[in-house]
Amino acid sequence: MLVIGIAGGTGCGKTTVVNQIVEELPQNEVGVISQDSYYHDLAHLTKEERGKVNFDHPNSIDFDLMIAHLEELRNGKPIEKPIYSFVEETRLDDTITVHPRKVIIVEGILVLSNPKLREMFDIKIYVHADSDERLIRRLQRDIKERGHDLEKVLHRYQTAVKPMHQQFIEPSKEFADLIIPNNHYNTVAVDMVRTIINENLG
């Protein structure tokens, strides 16, 4: 199994890049695990309390479960991946079965900052976009898709997203084998990653 880790700050385009990579590959050969699925279950907190959690700090992620799941997949076993609701800001009761695949892509803001997880990647990629680009994209996405208002997005950006990016995410760039510039759509880089994957599938 080939395991590819893809990190980068919020709004840099990780999900978009992963979708573009996967789009033209055989569906049953490639699987995706997103760090977003592994936020700790906060069902015991009220919605107001959940709203105050720092979702950009490594402690907000259940890395133990994420690593255990990746190990299971590498051992040829299926996993029950949690489902996270950004609107409710907690895990849902349901899970999704993910089967082992020849290629697994693991994406998320902090996936290169966790040493144990990082060691499991055969290829480490960091997607870069300037912070102003990322903030603009984040504002548009969170208001449209994640049920947040302008004030909430900006407050979170200043109090958690930006400081955690500087402390944990940006420094993890040094572990990358490949940095994808993504201020603009980067089809060349996407094609290159797809070529590497195809070589492994073939």
Ligand X SMILES: Nc1ccn([C@@H]2O[C@H](COP(=O)(O)O)[C@@H](O)[C@H]2O)c(=O)n1
Ligand Y SMILES: Nc1ncnc2c1ncn2[C@@H]1O[C@H](COP(=O)(O)OP(=O)(O)O)[C@@H](O)[C@H]1O
Amino acid letter at 176? A
Q: Which does 5 bind (CB under 5 to 8 A by kind): ligand X, ligand Y, none?
A: none
Q: Does 86 bind ligand X (CB under 6 A)?
A: yes
Judged by CB under 6 A, does residue 121 bind ligand X?
no
Residue nearest to ligand Y (CB): 13
Distance separating alpha carbons of residues 110 and 167, to the nearest angstrom:
11
Please count the residues of this chain forming the interface with ligand X, following the rule CB under 6 A. 14
From ligand X, ligand Y, none, interface partner of 62 (C-beta below 5 to 8 A by class): none
Is-contact 9 109, C-beta < 8 A? yes
Residue 13: contacted member of ligand X, ligand Y, none (CB under 5 to 8 Å, by partner type): ligand Y
131 binds ligand X (CB under 6 A): no
x/- site string to ligand X, residues 148 to 167, per CB under 6 A? Answer: --------x----x------
Site string for ligand X, 8-47 (x = CB under 6 A): --xx--xx--------------------x--x--------
User: What φ, ψ does residue 83 adopt, rounded to 5°?
Assistant: -110, 130
Which residue's CB is nearer to ligand Y, number 167 or number 185?
A: 185
**Of positions 18, 61, 89, 189, contacts ligand X by CB under 6 A:** 89
- Interface contacts to ligand Y, rule CB under 6 A: 8, 10-16, 137, 141, 182, 184-185
Alpha helices in the chain (DSSP H): 14-23, 47-50, 63-74, 115-119, 131-145, 150-156, 162-164, 187-201
CA distance 125 to 130: 16
Q: Which one of ligand Y, ligand X, none is in contact with 89 (Cβ closer than 5 to 8 A by kind)? A: ligand X
Asked whether 114 and 65 are in contact (CB, 8 A), the reply is no
Measured CA distances, 95 to 37, 80, 91, 98 (Å): 10, 6, 9, 9
- Continuous H helices in 26-182: 47-50, 63-74, 115-119, 131-145, 150-156, 162-164
